[in-house]
A and B are shown apart, each in its own frame.
Chain A
Amino acid sequence: ETGVTQTPRHLVMGMTNKKSLKCEQHLGHNAMYWYKQSAKKPLELMFVYNFKEQTENNSVPSRFSPECPNSSHLFLHLHTLQPEDSALYLCASSQDVGENEQFFGPGTRLTVL
């Protein structure tokens, strides 16, 4: 295992639901990331946190709301999603921002009906 866990592993939600994805890293890293991985598309960086502070929001719609209460935990709150938001959502961490090695969790497979 990589030391990065994500829950749930699978999630099905309707467009009017509100749900949250959780990520936890046990590596003592300072930086955490959310990525979106869609079929046949490159991995898209969504958010970056460094020492709990958001340092990057890559033009992500407001229906995705991140939260980082401490350096070990990262959440992605979801509300009024669209079917095109269905994808694999990956969390990653690195010792610091800018490190070439990021450690990824297994992802949450999200389906929006």
Chain B
Amino acid sequence: QKEVEQDPGPLSVPEGAIVSLNCTYSNSAFQYFMWYRQYSRKGPELLMYTYSSGNKEDGRFTAQVDKSSKYISLFIRDSQPSDSATYLCAMRAGGSYIPTFGRGTSLIVHP
């Protein structure tokens, strides 16, 4: 079993849809959870991160962590074609500085 599982997609949605991107993990020591966005021919850029369980909102983006289920989500409201990218989840344990990444989910928002 991989430490972090993420469906590679692609996930295709119409403009304006609510998008849900998810990762599951097996390591209960993970405490920090990050979401990166990667456009084609670019490096990943951090969207947001959360510590432990709970929700965090930033504009149209909401990150959610459920440590009891070992499940994290990123919701994108009112999705735009400019949101088309690959979304990578990453996580690390509190005592480690090494993040473990998921494979990334390719999102396509069509007009």
Interface bracket on B: 20 to 34
Inter-chain contact B43/A42, CB cutoff 8 Å: no
Main secondary structure, interface of B, reads loop
Most buried by B among A97, A98, A107: A98
**B45 interface residue, CB < 8 Å from A?**
yes
Main secondary structure, interface of A, reads loop
Inter-chain contact A100/B103, CB cutoff 8 Å: no
**B72 interface residue, CB < 8 Å from A?**
no
Q: Which residue on chain B has the smallest CB distance to residue A97?
A: B97
Inter-chain contact B4/A106, CB cutoff 8 Å: no
Interface bracket on A: 20 to 34
10 A-B pairs within 8 Å (CB atoms) are namely A2-B43, A42-B104, A43-B44, A45-B98, A45-B99, A56-B98, A98-B96, A99-B97, A100-B34, A104-B45
- Lowest 4 CB-CB distances: which A-B pairs, in order? A104-B43, A98-B97, A43-B101, A97-B97
